[in-house]
Chain A
Amino acid sequence: MRENGKTILEVDGLKKYYPIRKGFLKRTAGHVKAVDDVRFAVREGETFSLVGESGCGKSTLGRCLLRAVEPTAGHVRFTLRSGETVDVPGLDGDKLKTVRREMQMVFQDPYSSLNPRMTVRQIVAEPLILSGLARGAALEERAAELIEMVGLNKGHLDRYPHAFSGGQRQRIGIARALATNPRFVICDEAVSALDVSVQAQVINLLQDLQRSLGLSYLFISHDLSVIEHISHRIGVMYIGKMVEIGDAEAIFARPLHPYTEALLRSKPAADPNMRKTRFVLQGEAANPADPPSGCPFHPRCPYATGRCKTEKPELAEAEPGRSAACHYAGELRLQGAG
């Protein structure tokens, strides 16, 4: 299913600024640039992953796409099943409803993202009722179909979320996201809260569903092992900016941005013979309310020069199919994972 070349989602110049208010009059004293001028595209049938540390804006970016959070500026061009391409930020009414039908989300915490007072049947059926896609017997049939699709059974429909384990709840969350038959699913840390043995079940389920339904995923995670396993392409974020985009295998083998290298090499290798080959990045991520001048990564970057302190690097193509926001992309000899 992967990469028939068509683009399903194109993000351009997307920004989300939160004002910092100060004083008695709550004057705007500045902005937290949670998402700052981000550009990337997702192809049909692929898994595009956003990776970065907490506070880098990856979740805010995901929410901006379906306007769970209203973006400050920018374009999100989404191609509907009908073939029509719409720009999500300017939409309202029926068109926005259609977009949200075809673009769905799976959340991180399977404990707080399901209403404890609703049965599984109500949870899974709600999107269908809201979008007017099914009613009566058809609704019942679709709910049963969905719950079986995620590896549970019809008997589970009348129970409440508390009766399920974390992994099963996440399956219910996935069934809810798939109810309206979307083409694009945003998985925001969808497997992060699960234990490894159960995490593997859910990862396999997501991959199977991608194949059988032809889904495209935007997969948001801080877990590099999961990202490496599931992604076709990756975008690396650092305090609101996209610093590197490229093919997953290529990035893991040979990163182009020093921050990507730092991330990959901080990850403990699951092999006791690989000890001591890690390198430890000093300092902490900068405050997005007060980002450093020039390249936002320069205070922590072991390769930083005078130019990095003053001149902001733009995300530019460094090699075919790969881009990085670094003045020295391609010149530095960076190491990948393992």
Chain B
Amino acid sequence: MTEDEDALLTVRELRTHFHLDEGVLKAVDDVSFTLQRGQTLGIVGESGCGKSVAALTLLRLLPAFAKVEGDVLLRLNKGGRRGEVVNLAKLNPRGREIRGIRGGEMAMIFQEPMKAFSPVHTIGSQIIESIRLHRTRDRKEAREIAAQLLHSVGISNPGQRLNEYPHQLSGGMRQRAMIALALSGEPSVLIADEPTTALDVTIQAQVLQLINDLKEKNKMAVIFITHDMGVIAEMADDVAVMYMGKIVEYTTVENLFHRPAHPYTIALMNAMPSVRRKRERLQPIEGAVPIPINIKPGCPFFSRCEHAVKGWCDKSDVALTQIAPKHWVRCVFMQPREQGGAI
């Protein structure tokens, strides 16, 4: 993929493999993308495609036996090292440096705030802890910033809410508090992993709007992980479609919805009641996502693809190929012959 001098985050050939008793599980396999300031990258895929593991890999939040390869180049925005580029993939996952970046330069919103918050500490103490780690040592000032943050995410009566425990808040409120916690270190990259999946649709609309407003205001870059194409259409500038650990299509949101190219992307759209015309019969993708342990070389979608050709698609790994400006696809039928493709 193209090199970009001003990119805030450049991920190159990222691989996260787990060596299990049953074999090698390639949860993330050759993932590359770039992210600019003020941009939202959507990562979409079905459960088990590796989208959450990819997010956790960026922050180095995986257990020690996960093997990480590739580059995660983050341009720092704060402190004395402003402008410097750090390769997160090469850092010690338990070291001081990554701990300064986590929550500081790059923060994450999780799907289930009930699990992400500690149940035995108040909302306030958890947010204040993060502020004192990344912004100020002063307790009183930290408390004021925390109240301000809760106010900015639309929580009324923030002074009182700081003293409440996570279980005292409703689901929507908890997700807002989670966002406030993520923003407490003033990150330049916000990773949101299915932040609205557990919410009702009217509350989802509120949270999506909130994330977009805060992105504008704080000039953040957002990585938005979801399985919902509707949310992608609403939020993303660029989209990466993942299947079995690989990006199979990477393009702008307009291209994705109006000119999808990979058979998996097209099949996924046809299976969606929200995308299909009303009442038309859905076209499911036959079979289920295979378990990505000891997978054979070749296209990951080979076993379910209706266009798959034996001898072409299952021969060797397919490279992500550029088919148009800002449009990359991993399919043999989009690849020129000299690169091992079919055209």
Contacts and interface: CB of A to CB of B under 8 A. Distances in A.
Interface in A272-300: 272-275, 278, 280-282, 284-285
Interface residues of B, number: 44
B284 interface: yes
A269 B230 contact: yes
A72 interface: no
Given A228-B273, A269-B233, A270-B257, A222 B284 contact: no
Nearest to A223: B273
Contacts of B273: 200, 203, 223, 225-226, 228-230
A310 to B, nearest CB: 25
B148 interface: no
Most chain A beta-carbon neighbours within 10 Å: one of B230, B273, B278, B281: B273
Interface string B265-298: 0011001111110110111111011000000000
Interface stretch (A62-70, A104-112, A260-268, A314-322): A260-268
Given A198-B284, A200-B285, A53 B272 contact: no
Contacts of B284: 197-201, 204
Interface string B42-80: 000011000000000000000000000000000000000
A197 B231 CA distance: 17
Contacts, number: 122
B254 A272 contact: yes
Contacts of A272: 233-234, 236, 253-254, 257
A240 B61 CA distance: 42
B153 to A, nearest CB: 14
B170 interface: yes
A266 B201 contact: yes
Nearest to B283: A200
Contact of B46 (A197, A226, A229, A266): A197
A286 B205 CA distance: 17
B258 to A, nearest CB: 8
B229 interface: yes
Interface in A241-276: 249, 252, 262-263, 266-275
A203 B268 CA distance: 15
Given A223-B273, A275-B233, A284-B173, 19 more contacts: A53-B202, A196-B46, A196-B272, A197-B271, A200-B272, A200-B283, A200-B285, A201-B286, A225-B230, A263-B201, A266-B204, A268-B208, A268-B230, A268-B233, A269-B233, A270-B257, A272-B233, A280-B205, A284-B170
Interface of B: 46-47, 170-173, 200-206, 208-209, 227-231, 233-234, 236, 253-254, 257, 267-268, 271-276, 278-279, 281-286, 288-289
